[in-house]
Amino acid sequence: MKKVCIDGEFYGVKCGRDKDLIKREYEILSSLDHPGWVKVFGIEEKDGEACYIMEWIEGERIDRVLTTPLSGEEIPRFKEYLSQILSALLHIHSRSLIHGDLKPEHIIVTPG
């Protein structure tokens, strides 16, 4: 994914040569209405690739935010993160969808 600036706003752009896969990802993301999933704004084909644009989430990967083992003061924060992650996963599972590539670099912790 690339970070781009359009009219002073940052967005993420994901492109791929497997147009069907990129289109399917876009369709799934555009059907989701949950704060745990990025919003997508459009898709287009260009130069043999399909690309979609999504909101840019500013933050850190979860594995860089939490230390191992967790300190006592991190446990309440960890519980909140876990609650939000489970809520996002339940949202897609209720639509008979699975993530398929869940890993720390795909979980972004935002400031605040």
* Active site annotation includes 101: yes
| Domain identity same for 37 and 63 | no
Q: What pLDDT score does 93 carry?
A: 97
Residue 94 bridge partners (DSSP)? none
Contact 26, 40 (CB under 8 A): yes
- Select which of 20, 33, 47, 101 is catalytic: 101
Measuring CA to CA, which residue among 23, 6, 5 is closest to residue 14? 23
Say whether both 41 and 92 belong to one domain: no
The rounded distance, in Å, linking the Cα atoms of 58 and 16 is: 23
Interatomic CA distance for residues 111 and 100, integer angstroms: 26
Higher pLDDT: 107 or 65? It is 107
Q: Is the pLDDT of residue 18 over 80?
A: yes
Shared-domain flag, residues 38 and 87: no
Q: Do 78 and 109 fall into the same domain? A: yes
Domain that residue 111 falls in: 58-112
* 23 and 52 within one domain: yes
Domain tally, the chain: 2
Q: In the prediction, which pLDDT does 55 show?
A: 96
Strand runs labelled E in the chain: 2-6, 9-16, 40-46, 49-55, 60-61, 108-109
Give dist(CA 106, CA 63) in Å, integer: 10
Task: State the CATH number of the domain containing residue 16.
Answer: 3.30.200.20
pLDDT digits (tens, 9 = 90+) for 75-111: 898 899 999 999 999 999 999 999 999 999 999 998 8
Give pLDDT, residue 68: 73
